[in-house]
Chains A and B, each alone.
Chain A
Amino acid sequence: MRTYILRRLLYSVAVVAGVLLFVFIITHMLGDPARMMLPLEATDEEVEAFREAMGFNDPLHVQFWRFAKNAIRGDFGDSLWQREPAMGLVLERLPATLLLVAISVFLSLAISIPLGVLAALKPRSSLDRICTVGSLSGVSIPDFWLGLVLILLFAVKLRWFYTSGYGTWKHLVLPVLTLAARPIGRITLIARSSMIDALCQQYVVTARAKGLKERTIVYRHALRNALIPIITLGGWQATRLLAGLTVATETVFAWPGVGLLAIQAIERRDLPLIAADVFIVSLLVTGLNLFLDMLYALCDPRIRFE
């Protein structure tokens, strides 16, 4: 177990190093950071002076070393737009995104698992067909468009919820529904197929032969085993949501999270803020992955001895 944890930790460090390198390449090597950050009317002398002041004229490895050292200390420089440390701005926005993602993932698990199990119990029934086509639709609908349609229906026409903003549960309903649509589809499909898998296993035959009640067989024997891939996918969906799928939803609902911040930073060409945002989100995703890996190792001894 210890070597497993150690290996996972080392691997996470490698991921973070990779992310740092990538963020550096994006912000320092693609295009000209000085021209990007200064207003369009800046003269050549001003650009050159700015470049010298920011250290953009140093050799790339010197720049990268400086960037990495500062990044690890949490210093990405001041945001050009807010004139405040970029890191603080990102951390301020983090809770809103985490709230949105957590509720969406739990909601989708709560809806998908029963649906998937029901569909798996009666394969080829009309309920199963509706579930499958419904899940595929959930996976296929562009989330930002779904958000706009929900706004049109429930905020503009029916006036049940607010079009945008942050604060009460009424603000939360539409963004959560928008964000949960795709995970619901994905998880329902997987829940159904892993449940069908589990119901085909030998231990189910044994349980039937022992004369156990169908309820016991389904919920205690099959579902427990089917849960592993479902939870894996749930965790994976959570990392994907964190890793950028919230961007469009937050933009549509003006939800003050890190996704919206990324878009605002990009619109203002605020490189320190972009770097801080991408780095923090990557750290979170890496941390969540690490946590999920540990969780599997705890639940499934086979993984530990891999």
Chain B
Amino acid sequence: MPTIPLPIISTVVAALLTVILPGRAAAAEWSGNVAAELRGFISEGAWPGQGDGGISVSAQPEFRHQWSDGRFGVTFIPFARLDSMDDERSHADIRQFDFLWVMDQWEFRAGIGKVFWGVTETQHLVDIINQTDVLEDIDGEDKLGQPMLRITRTIGNGGIDLFLLPWFRERAFPGIDGRFRPPLVIDADLSSYESDDEEHHLDWSIRWNQSIENFDFALSWFQGTSREPLLLPAGKVLAPFYPQLQQAGLELQYTGEAWLWKLEAVHRETLSERYQAFVGGFEYTFVGINESAADLGVLLEYNYDSRDDTALTVFENDLFAGTRLALNDTQSTELLAGVMYDLDLNSKSFRLEASRRLGESYKLEVEMHLFWDVDPLDPMYAFRKDDFVQVRLARYF
């Protein structure tokens, strides 16, 4: 990573963008959000040094400029967080900084970008282009910006994407004060790679997605550095090791009137292992419950990993049952809650996410995670004391 502090780079880049870009100034726009977050952990940490919660602030300004009727565009989205509990969670990143060129059915993007692949809710198994930002949340939905050249050819209501990924982003881990960590701290400075090119290995990927009648599907292939490291003992700490990985992925969704049927599956091969994993299930929605405007959804998803309990994943034979409530009111009040149950080890975890707009430009979000009956054999065992409640207030502009 660059040695110049990111906020300085961001300011300079932003100033340059505003000055040099062609077109009317009115076509360039800033938006984004700033947020304050309170986190409280219910129990004392399982490992020495862990804090009990704290306050945290974040900012994510977003600059966009498009010209020539949207055929060209530049997007710049820096992100920064300051955290009172864990120094490692105070971090900054460029989420997106890329140039877009659209020509008929072709789209070219160069720079730092982000993509999302997938259909399921419990985990994002197929989604592999971007490194996960585990410092932000344990739901795997926050990602680090990935340097890439992306070429898209749209075909009907779908298309083919080719990705060239010249620079790998290492995963960052919680520090000694942080929660959601193993007993030993993971030292990202000790990262090592299977490839001699280390983080400069040229990764690539191709994905075809299409929509036919009630089916949306995608097939993908990825070849390059695994986003998920193996953790090797190195004295009093753990050192990440990034093997080379090949992944074939499938995403499938059937959309009925009230039913959504979903499936994500992968086949992965590394030097030391080859395995399959999938997550599949349904979401059924009761529309306008009790003569009201509210919708109530019921979700059931099953997670499987062929590596059984030796897997470093918590999703090896697990069932998720949950519910989604959307009030469809003026303030867009929503809630998603559910229980994950390990069918082999009987470990259970509960998660809840709720949000509501306040006034025109604020949003209040509440998040809760609880763990119980966690078996020592479960990779989740290290987090068994990390039950927490989080309240986040964001101002959007």
Does B bind A?
no
Chain B positions near chain A (C-beta within 8 angstroms): none
